[in-house]
Structure 1
């Protein structure tokens, strides 16, 4: 695993040589012989070079080089080998060390290995685990027995399987703290169960929107009350989507967006009906809503009421989805290849792959302009 580090060192710019020279003035780095059988005999490197190759500042690199020298510099080799055995690429290793230099000070067998084994045991794949730990390296600092495992037990009690636990961990942005998980998530989910939400909806919330699941209970209850007041059915997944929206939108932002929609021609009743149909569109920024509404009314010629029938439009990407798809549909309608009264939701709410198969590939032999229009709009 360390060969790539040597390669990076030997191919660096002249600035790197200056950096090493300056560091040597302060730190008498020791060359380490690598005894691991995975390495070629005679290969050598030093701890300062390992850290510096990952893009740390000279000051930080020097600090950790000294700490490694005092502790056990050979341990860094073992850490690199262990992470490599668990699927870390060269780039991922450098990213991890840059974010968490202290990982090189870890005891590979007693500290790192049990955590890596645990995450693999609950369903992290060999490719997913390195990506996950590079994004959230603090998991490698947390105690397995005091924090990680207890939190796993709590999350597992909220969902249906380990796969959903993995999804929860991958989607969560919170600082991993067992007390917060227990204190917030358990009463939050209990409140939903009392309302009669099915386990499928609860799993949807926990696995996909952990930031809502683990928010403070008072704020969670407030969001739940708003969803109830709007008349959402607890038995439908739209209840969860509305809860996510209210958890993300402040009262002031909600009122401001309603005012924006009113300026675009929607009455308050139309806005609320659209929200019930597709709650997540209200999470979009005001500027995004205005841009899409302007395009649809001025360029496409849609009436505000038509847009309200497919509020998912306001959550789409204008340049990558809305404009290219409407360009294709316009051509197909003009040539009589599809119905003139085709519902917007029919071609907006499908994946790009399905859209291409259904409205581009299918017709390009009849109308070559279709593919050209789609590609042209996508590249603009």
Structure 2
């Protein structure tokens, strides 16, 4: 019996074009009545039909010990296949949430899919939404939340991006948490686009207790970061998870590591609030590179603090070596600003600083590529 059921479900997984319900009814109607014999082995079913590894199945089976037949699990797996789930998708969803196999198809899953379709989501988008949020989701509340976030974020694509970052959007209390936080941001002057950007970039922030959230917003304002600026998102991310004491300690360390005055420290934090979340080891190594090796003045860095966030290994050091080589060989103006060479994209950097010098410096491209991998060719070394 289990083998027959497995064959039916396998067929469904390989033919997801038919509707979930019609395929399920058509194919399972031909199967003999299901026995409720205690011989049904959940662990074997999870491996053979759902595609879990033996270790995953052993862990998941503890939550499905009450199952005595494959009837309900077969229906769920067939339904997921009808949504467009691949065998790997089914395995991932069941591994995350084994109790998914106990849900009713016609009473719970099918109505939910019908309502989501009514909101304009495609079958593939619904499958992605279901897979991303299958861990701790309450299916009965998903439709109202999706409807709200579609309006807030402007598109199903943005919704899926946000949920991929944090499924808490669909588990947080919409009325008592999320909507209150959004309303407070609106009171602070943030427009719909700004709130959407915040939600996509750091969706878990909107799930924070409203009282704590308000305090975080006020602290972010205290960093002299305008609510309408892109840095405000960084500020809110930073202060929401840090105590005022930790913020003060981090600011003092920044001041010491980069030899900044109080005013310069405040300027740097207002421009790049994410510095408050960086480790001391990272800050110290960036300081040594920018000040001791590159020779930048502390005040220069304070007014361009994003320099600290770029990785020396993958970006700032290779570019520094390449530009220094070009200047030393008279191929580039000596007054070329370092900040401008760091902030441009890799594609633009290659087009402006590497490709034009193929004849004058035939090994530069090769040496620069090596520097990006952590090697420093002798031709790029200068006293």
Would you call these one fold, judging by a TM-score over 0.5?
yes
- Tell me, yes or no, if structure 1 residue 185 matches structure 2 residue 178: yes
Asked if 2 retains the 8 angstrom alpha-carbon contact of 1:333 and 1:340, the reply is: yes
Kindly indicate whether residue 103 of structure 2 is the aligned counterpart of residue 91 of structure 1: no
For residues 160-239 of structure 1, what are the structure 2 equivalents within 5 Å? 160-174=154-168, 176-177=170-171, 180-239=173-232
| Per-residue deviation, 1:312 | 1.0
TM-score (norm 2): 0.75
Cα distance, 1:338–1:91 mapped onto 2, change above 3 Å:
farther
**Residue 288, structure 1, aligned to residue 282, structure 2:** yes
Structure 2 residue 4 is the aligned partner of structure 1 residue 32: yes
In the TM superposition, 1:1-380 aligns within 5 A as 30-33=2-5, 34-35=7-8, 48-52=43-47, 53-57=51-55, 59-60=58-59, 63=62, 67-68=66-67, 70-71=68-69, 73-116=70-113, 133-138=130-135, 141-144=137-140, 147-174=141-168, 176-177=170-171, 180-264=173-257, 265-380=259-374
Distance 1:61 1:224 in 2: 41
CA distance in 2 between counterparts of 1:133 and 1:151 reads: 13
Cα separation, 2, equivalents of 1:321 and 1:128: 36
Aligned mates of 1:283, 1:173 — CA distance in 2: 23
Higher mean displacement: 109-118 or 333-342: 109-118
1:351 Cα shift?
3.1
Q: CA RMSD in A?
A: 3.5
Counterparts of 1:149 and 1:84 in 2: how far apart (Å)? 21
Contact preservation (8 Å) 2:83, 2:123:
yes
Note the residue ranges of structure 2 that are not aligned, 5 or more in a row.
16-26, 28-39, 375-383
Deviations 1:201-244 (A, max 9, x none): 22221222222222112222212222333333334333343223
CA contact (8 A) 1:51 1:101 kept: no
Kindly provide the CA deviation profile for residues 43-90 of structure 1, in whole angstroms up to 9, marking residues without a partner as x. xx986434235125364365467544x14x154444444434444344
Q: Which residue of 2 aligns with 1:23?
A: none
Q: Name the stretch that deviates more: 252-261 or 122-131.
A: 122-131
Does structure 1 conserve the Cα–Cα contact (< 8 Å) formed by 2:181 and 2:213? Answer: yes
Distance 1:271 1:94, change over 3 A: same
How far, CA to CA, are the matches of 1:335 and 1:92 in structure 2?
56
Aligned length: 343
Taking structure 1 as the reference length, what is the TM-score of the superposition?
0.75
Q: CA deviation at 1:176?
A: 3.4
3-state SS in 1 of match to 2:238: helix
Q: Distance in 2 between matches of 1:153 and 1:159?
A: 10
**TM-aligned CA distance change 1:46 to 1:229, over 3 Å:** closer
Write the distance in 2 (CA, Å) between the matches of 1:103 and 1:155.
24
1:98 is displaced (CA, Å) by 2.0
- How far 1:135 moved relative to its partner? 4.6
Q: Secondary structure at the match of 2:168?
A: coil
Change in Cα spacing, 1:270 to 1:124, as seen in structure 2 (3 Å) is farther
- Greater shift, 264-273 or 313-322, is seen at 313-322
Task: State the distance in 1 between where 2:60 and 2:208 align.
Answer: 37
Mapped to 2, the partners of 1:340 and 1:293 lie a distance apart of 23
Question: Counterparts of 2:261 and 2:54 in 1: how far apart (Å)?
Answer: 55
Query: How far apart are the structure 2 equivalents of 1:368 and 1:132?
Result: 50
